[in-house]
Structure 1
C-alpha cells in the first residue's frame, strides 16, 4: 500500500493501546498552527505600527541631517524586508488542515522548519544590521546636540540593547519555537515509522 494514500486516522484507531494518541498529536499541531498565526499577525501589526510611527516622526519633526533620513529609510526597509519574508509562512500555516495524511503533515512541518531557519538566520541577521545602522544614523542628529558624555552613553545603551536582543532574546525565542516544531516533526515521523511496520 502506498504510504501517501493512507488514512492514518483510521489506521491509528486500529493500533494496539500503548501507541501515542493521534488526537493528542493533532491537537498539538492545531495549537502550534494557532499560536504561529497569532504571532505572525501580532508581528505584522507591531511592525506596521512602528513604521507608521517612524514616518509620523519624520513628517512632524522634519529632521535636518541627511543621515537621519537615511536612518529612517534603513529602519523601515529592515522591517519591510523582514515582514515580506515572514509573511510567506502565512500560506504554509493556512494549508495545514485536518484532511491531510500524516506524510502531508510531516512535509508541511519540514517546509515550515526550512523557511523559519532561513528567516531566523539570514533575514534576521540582515534585519539587525539594517536596524542597527538605521537607528545609529537616525540618532546622530539628536546625539550631536548632546554633551559628549550623554551622546556616547546613548550609543552605548543602544548597542547594549541590540546585543541583548541578538545574543540573549533572539536565541531563546528561536530555541523555544524550534523545540515545539521539532517535537511535532518527531511525532509525525514516529507515526510514519509505525505505519510502515504495519
Structure 2
C-alpha cells in the first residue's frame, strides 16, 4: 500500500509528450513567419533601391538648379540607405531559423528578432521618416517656388498629408501586425519550454 502512495507526479509530468500536432502547427507558423519576413525584407530592399535609382535618374535628367533640391535628394537617399542597412541586419537572423534547433534556441532567436524589430520600428523608422520628410520638402521647394501660393500650398499639403497618413495610420497598423505575429510565436515557445521544464 505504501508503494502505491509514492507516485512521483513530477516524473510522470516530465514523461508526457507535447502533442505532435501542436508542435507541427507551431513549426509551420514559424516557417510561415520566416518566409513572410524574408519576402518583406527583399521587397523593401527592391523598392528602396528602385526609388533611389529613380531619384538619381531625376537628378541627372532634370538638372535641378537650387542647392536645396540637391540637398533634398541626398537626404532622401541617405534616409533610405541607412534604413536599408539596419533592416538588412535582420536577414541573417531570419535565415538562421531552421528545423534543427531546439525550442529554447527558437525562443532565443525570436526574442532577438523582436528586439531588433522594435529598434527598427521606433528609432530607425523615426530617422527614416524625418530624413524622408526633410528631403522631400527641400526637393519640392525649387518646383513649388515656380507655382502660385495656392499651387505650392496644395503640393506641400498633399505631400505632407500622405506622409502623416503613413506615419500615424499605416505604420502603427504594420507595427502592430508584426508585433502580434512574433509575440504569438514567442508565447507558444515559452509555453512549450515551460511544460518541458516542469
TM-score normalized by the length of structure 1: 0.91
In structure 1, the partner of 2:129 is 128
Shift of 1:158: 1.1
1:17-56 aligned at under 5 Å gives the runs: 21-56=22-57
Tell me whether 1:15 sits opposite 2:29 in the alignment. Answer: no
Q: Structure 1, residues 135-179: CA drift from partner, whole Å, max 9, x if none?
A: 000000001000110101111111111110000000000000110
Q: How does 1:11-160 map to 2 (within 5 A)?
A: 15=17, 21-160=22-161
CA distance in 2, matches of 1:91, 1:62: 40
Task: Report what 2:174 is aligned to.
Answer: 173
Question: Cα deviation per residue 1:102-121 (whole Å; 9 max; x = unaligned)?
Answer: 00000000000000000000
Shift of 1:13: 10
Task: Kindly name which structure, 1 or 2, has the bigger radius of gyration based on alpha carbons.
Answer: 2
Describe the superposition over 1:72-115 as per-residue Cα deviations: whole angstroms up to 9, x where unpaired: 00000000010000000000001111000000000000000000
| RMSD (Å) for aligned C-alpha atoms | 1.5
2-side partners of 1:13 and 1:99: how far apart?
A: 22
SS in 1 for 2:97: coil
Instruction: Report if aligned partners of 2:18, 2:192 keep a CA contact under 8 Å in 1.
Output: no
Hey, what's the Cα distance between the residues in 2 that align with 1:16 and 1:95? 24
Question: How far apart, CA to CA, are the structure 2 residues paired with 1:158 and 1:16?
Answer: 54
Partner Cα distance (1:101, 1:72) in 2: 47
Deviation at 1:190, TM superposition (A): 0.3
Partners of 1:103 and 1:154 in 2: how far apart? 53
Matched length: 185
Q: Equivalents in 1 of 2:38, 2:68: separation in Å?
A: 37
User: For structure 2, which runs of at least 5 residues remain unmatched after alignment?
Assistant: 1-13
**Which whole-Å deviations, capped at 9, do the CAs of 1:4-37 have from their partners, x for residues lacking one?**
xxxxxxxx995265x8610000000000000000
Compute the TM-score of the two structures, normalised by the length of structure 2.
Answer: 0.91
Structure 1 residue runs of 4+, over 3 Å off? Answer: none
Greater alpha carbon shift after TM alignment, 156-165 vs 62-71: 156-165
